[in-house]
């Protein structure tokens, strides 16, 4: 028997249009599953049933009125709690801002609503999104539904858990150094970080570093592409924007066409000079390379020595810049978690010269790297160096600097595409002997999400994953 959460987002949208199911039924189903399951998973910080049901009723009125309908009308989703939502508590994962209620929506929230999606709440995120795992002093950790003793990754960990456990079909995430792709890998999902400027950070998102963008977490490539279509587009005043698709083209359409024969480079050089891959990660990477070759692509090793020793220290300083701008009253700094305090202190200690030179270094590295890899259509790389980490592995000793160092070793690869601005996706192509997901990362040419999506869809067709679910999926709450 097919249950409502077995349907993909696009299937739900089609069922709403045909009258097989109502938006209220979909939202009620999601809320019921959240109530039954989320206490043991930590996907959500705030759930908004009244707002979601009111939006569902409005969607039903729109259906009855007829006329042109948005593509995802009636599909439930959730917004990461780093992203402002007017009238809804937005904690940024911190007890210092636990009562913050924005007066404006971020542009991506407005675009998702315009596409017809219905948000049921705000998903769990670490304090101000700094680490590659999700835990905080507001609601605690986001737990991997495949093994709740493990962290769900971050910083979009709550979003990934919500999708992987069937609480919502798709969710919004954001990514400044792997924060969509890491939890996608850990939880067995498609996690797509678009190219820089594809999705606007307006009106309040940080534009200084150019590292952060919004993107989707989904069970299928087609769902991820459809949500990217909903998110994409610049806002007036954006400092950069990706070139639009040709007239009439969509990212969803790209998922339905063959990618052609591509030249793909396996890339295992990291800004972390001593990064070591666990055997299970090596197996996953080799398996993905073999599958790509079987599908007819030209797979080869990337040229060596594409990154210099200047990359890591420059990235560390630029990452800490965000800590310098935190709106935290001096009297409450002690309430921040050790990692946040550490990065805030590092950011405030930077001179203007150090900050600007670090930004310039990353721009120079980006240009050099993009030129050196311009002959390849796609790069294949690990997402993380290790499988999912146990709860407490990063921060049990309370040392912020050590926590940051562990994050760097764990997530030694994904930040490079934030530096270069390239689109990148994590695909759930591998399972460990214990059944835990391990993602493989594909990185595309700048502004070429279309090729990345077409290739991802080809891989999904060759090795389908959407029907693989953790135990929570079959809960009686469904």
> CA 478 to CA 470: how far, in whole Å?
14
Peptide bond into 203 cis (omega under 30): yes
**pLDDT (mean) for 256-269:** 98
Specify the pLDDT at position 1. Answer: 67
Confidence at 157, pLDDT banded by 50, 70, 90: very high
Contact yes or no for 67/111 (Cβ under 8 A) = no
Nearest to 234 by CA among 113, 117, 114, 107: 107
Confidence at 374, pLDDT banded by 50, 70, 90: very high
Q: What is the pLDDT of residues 27-59, one digit of tens each?
A: 999 999 999 999 999 999 999 999 999 999 999
Q: Does residue 237 carry a pLDDT above 70?
A: yes
Mind telling me the catalytic residues? 80, 155, 179
- Which residue has 């905080």 as its token pair? 136
Confidence at 412, pLDDT banded by 50, 70, 90: very high
- In this structure, what token pair is assigned to residue 474? 């079959």
* 2 phi-psi bin (left φ>0, alpha ψ -120 to 50, beta other): beta
Q: Does residue 95 carry a pLDDT above 80?
A: yes
The whole-chain average pLDDT of the chain stands at 97
> CA 287 to CA 386: how far, in whole Å?
16
Percent of the chain clearing pLDDT 70 (strictly above) = 99
> CA 194 to CA 208: how far, in whole Å?
18
Confidence at 253, pLDDT banded by 50, 70, 90: very high
Specify the pLDDT at position 50. Answer: 98
Specify the pLDDT at position 394. Answer: 98
Three-state SS string across the chain, please?
CCCHHHCCHHHHHHHHHHCCCCHHHHHHHHHHHHHHHHHHCCCEEEECHHHHHHHHHHHHHHHHHCCCCCCCCCCEEEEECCCCCCCCCCCCCCHHHCCCCCCCCCHHHHHHHHCCCEEEEEECCCHHHCCCCCCCCCCCCCECCCCCCEECCCCCHHHHHHHHCCCCCEEEEEECCCCCHHHHHHHCCEEEECCCCCECCCCCCCCCCCCCEEEEEECCHHHHHHHHHHHCECCCCCCCCCCCCCCCCCHHHHCCCCCCCCEEEECCCCCCCCCCCCHHHHHHHHHHHHHHHHCCCEEEECCCCCCCCCHHHHHHHHHHHHHHCCCCCHHHHHHCCHHHHHHHHHHHHCCHHHHHHHHHHHHHHHHHHHHHCCCCCEEEEECCCCCCCECCCCCCCCCHHHHHHHHHHHCCCCHHHHHHCCCEEEEEEEECCCCCEEEEEEEECCCCHHHHHHHHHHHHHHCCCCCCCCHHHHCCCC
Q: What is the pLDDT of residues 105-121, one digit of tens each?
A: 999 999 999 999 999 99
Specify the pLDDT at position 359. Answer: 97
Contact yes or no for 45/125 (Cβ under 8 A) = yes
Residues constituting the chain: 478
Q: What is the pLDDT of residues 333-368, one digit of tens each?
A: 999 999 999 999 999 999 999 999 999 999 999 999
Confidence at 206, pLDDT banded by 50, 70, 90: low
């Amino acid at each position: 028997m097919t249950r409502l959460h077995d349907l993909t987002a696009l299937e739900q949208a089609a069922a709403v249009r045909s009258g097989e199911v109502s938006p209220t039924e979909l939202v009620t189903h999601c809320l019921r599953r959240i109530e039954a399951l989320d206490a043991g998973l930590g996907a959500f910080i705030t759930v908004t049933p009244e707002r979601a049901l009111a939006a569902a009723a409005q969607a039903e009125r729109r259906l009855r009125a007829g006329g042109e309908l948005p593509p995802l009308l009636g599909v439930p989703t959730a917004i990461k709690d780093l992203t402002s939502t007017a009238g809804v508590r937005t904690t940024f994962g911190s007890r210092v801002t636990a009562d913050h209620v924005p007066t404006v929506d971020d542009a991506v929230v407005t675009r998702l609503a315009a596409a017809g999606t219905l948000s049921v709440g705000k998903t769990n995120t670490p304090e101000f999104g700094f680490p590659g795992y999700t835990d905080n002093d507001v609601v605690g950790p986001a737990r991997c539904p495949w093994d709740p003793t493990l962290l769900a990754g971050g910083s979009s960990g709550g979003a990934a858990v919500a999708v992987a456990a069937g609480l919502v079909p798709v969710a919004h995430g954001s990514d400044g150094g792997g924060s969509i792709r890491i939890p996608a890998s850990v939880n067995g999902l498609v996690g797509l970080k678009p190219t820089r400027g594809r999705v606007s950070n307006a009106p309040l998102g940080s534009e200084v570093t150019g590292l952060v963008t919004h993107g989707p977490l989904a069970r299928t490539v087609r769902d991820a592409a459809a949500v990217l279509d909903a998110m994409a587009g610049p806002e007036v005043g954006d400092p950069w924007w990706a070139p639009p698709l040709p007239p009439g083209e969509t990212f969803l359409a790209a998922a339905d066409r063959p990618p052609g024969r591509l030249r793909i480079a396996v890339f295992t050089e990291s800004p972390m000079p001593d990064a070591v891959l666990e055997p299970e990660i090596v197996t996953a990477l080799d398996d993905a390379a073999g599958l790509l070759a079987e599908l007819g692509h030209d797979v080869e090793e990337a040229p060596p020595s594409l990154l210099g020793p200047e990359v890591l220290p420059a990235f560390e300083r630029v990452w800490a810049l965000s800590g310098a701008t935190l709106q935290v009253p001096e009297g409450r700094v002690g309430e921040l978690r050790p990692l946040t305090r550490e990065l805030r202190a590092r950011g405030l200690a930077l001179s203007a010269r150090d900050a600007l030179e670090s930004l310039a270094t990353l721009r120079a590295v980006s240009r050099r790297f993009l030129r050196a890899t311009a002959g390849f259509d796609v790069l294949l790389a690990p997402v993380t160096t290790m499988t999912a980490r146990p709860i407490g592995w990063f921060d049990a000793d309370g040392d912020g600097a050590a926590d940051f160092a562990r994050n760097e070793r764990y997530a030694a690869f994904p930040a490079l595409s934030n530096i270069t601005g390239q689109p990148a996706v994590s695909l759930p192509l591998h399972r460990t002997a214990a059944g835990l997901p391990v993602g493989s990362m594909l990185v595309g040419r700048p502004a070429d999400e279309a090729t990345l999506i077409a290739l991802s869809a080809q891989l999904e067709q060759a090795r389908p994953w959407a029907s693989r679910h953790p135990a929570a999926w079959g809960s009686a709450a469904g």
